[in-house]
Amino acid sequence: MAGWIYGWALFASIAAVSAGAAPFVAPLLGMRATPLSSGLVALALVFITTLINLSSTKLLGRVAMFGFVCEIIGALVVGTFLLVFHRHQPFNIVFHTAGHGAKGHYSTAFLSAAIVGLFTCYGFEACGDVAEETPNPSVAIPRAMKSTIYIGMSASIFVCLALILSVPDIGAVVSGQSSNLIENILSDAFGTLGTKLVVLVVLVSFLSCILSLQAAASRLLHAYARDGMIVASPWLGRVSDKHRIPANALLLSGIIAAGILIAGIFFSNTVGTIVSFAVVGIYAGFQMVVIGALFARRCGWKANGSFQLGYWAWPVNILALLWGIAAIAQMLRPSGDGASWYVSWAMALIFLAVILCGAAYMLVFRPYTSSTAPAGDAWQLMPTDKK
């Protein structure tokens, strides 16, 4: 069930990131962003990333690394420039409410603000999706995940702070009067040409992200197909003789993401729902692992791997569970903006539908009985793996 939810969240993430990148392309090409043009651009991005992923794993790694480097360097350059030459607010503005929320509770405000972190600290688990293709994964994968979180989160916090301090009128932003905030800040700070260069760097980062998500989704599909646990397993389990990649699984991941994007062209408010479900689905998949780990610890299980938490295992596990449940509940909560009930609850309904479909498939077809893979602590099953 964890893989089922995580898989659909990955498909939604591919569509969500593609849809999020599309509005940046329009001003870069001098076009006006419309739902149709944005949808077509998003479909083109999925098509391009599918071709790159089908080329080879080496090309995927090079493009992903190039995007990562562009993202970090771009974040440092843009953030530093905004703080030095375009700062309008004092640093203590982050502790002010701008006259709003006087009657609210701190915990609600904290969880609402934490959603920014939930959307930012996202995708680091994709490092583990290519563990079978990584030498010495027990050491390399935890190190890669931690590096991704530390570097990525630091850069995101830095840019976010720079953007907040560069807002001329915080009150207008809080009240909703100021639209296209980031575009306006960049345009004021860098001018037309500079803004296009910044947007180009952002697009490279988006492209890198889509590539990584599609690679992760295809590896998940291939893993289940290899064990005969999903429909069309023989076809999805095939590996390209030339490039040694799961080509059919890559194609299907691109097709599903494209289908989600096509639906978004014809239905309003779909993009926001897609993005939100992608994040909720990812964190729901995380929490199933957290719950499983907590249950295993209660039964006496102790990790044997190179990466261990030691005495911190129990408190970290419990805090992770509480934090994850609170975050999911906060994201599923309707916005209360007066929209129709099916719009307000769209994300929760989609999330429930994914769970029910997965449960029905699991109970009726019992795919977990098809797998011949060993179950248990990987370090007990593979004692010859060396650090």
pLDDT at 275: 73
Q: Which residues contact 62 (CB under 8 A, 6 or more apart)?
A: none
Q: Which residues contact 345 (CB under 8 A, 6 or more apart)?
A: 334
Does residue 289 fall inside a structural domain? Answer: no
Proportion of the chain above pLDDT 90, given as a percent: 12
Q: Which residues contact 81 (CB under 8 A, 6 or more apart)?
A: 189, 190
Round to whole Å and give the CA distance between 1 and 364.
13
User: pLDDT averaged over the chain?
Assistant: 81
Does residue 205 fall inside a structural domain? Answer: yes
Q: Coil, strand, or helix at residue 354?
A: helix
> CA neighbours within 13 Å on the CB side: how many for 208?
19
Highest mean pLDDT range out of 13-27, 334-348, 370-384? 13-27
pLDDT at 81: 92
Q: Averaged over 153-160, what is the pLDDT?
A: 86
User: Residue 158: which of 92, 50, 83 has the closest Cα?
Assistant: 83
Q: Tens of pLDDT along 247-302?
A: 899 999 999 999 988 888 877 667 777 777 888 888 888 898 899 889 888 888 88
Does residue 172 fall inside a structural domain? Answer: yes
Q: What's the structural domain count of the chain?
A: 1
Does residue 273 fall inside a structural domain? Answer: no
Determine the structural domain holding residue 232 and report its residue range.
2-268
Does residue 350 fall inside a structural domain? Answer: no
pLDDT at 100: 64
Rg of the Cα atoms in the chain: 22
Q: What is the CATH number of the domain that holds 26?
A: 1.20.1740.10
Q: Which residues contact 365 (CB under 8 A, 6 or more apart)?
A: none
Answer yes or no: are the C-beta atoms of 277 and 332 closer than 8 Å: no
Q: Averaged over 87-95, what is the pLDDT?
A: 85
Does residue 248 fall inside a structural domain? Answer: yes
pLDDT at 212: 84
Given its phi and psi angles, is residue 40 left (phi above 0), alpha (psi -120 to 50 degrees) or beta? Answer: alpha
Round to whole Å and give the CA distance between 14 and 37.
18
Question: Residue 378 pLDDT > 60, yes or no?
Answer: no
User: Residue 324: which of 293, 277, 291, 352 has the closest Cα?
Assistant: 291
Whole-model pTM: value is: 0.83
Does residue 360 fall inside a structural domain? Answer: no
> For residue 215, what pLDDT band results from cuts at 50, 70 and 90?
confident
Does residue 277 fall inside a structural domain? Answer: no
**Is the model more confident about 255 or about 26?**
255
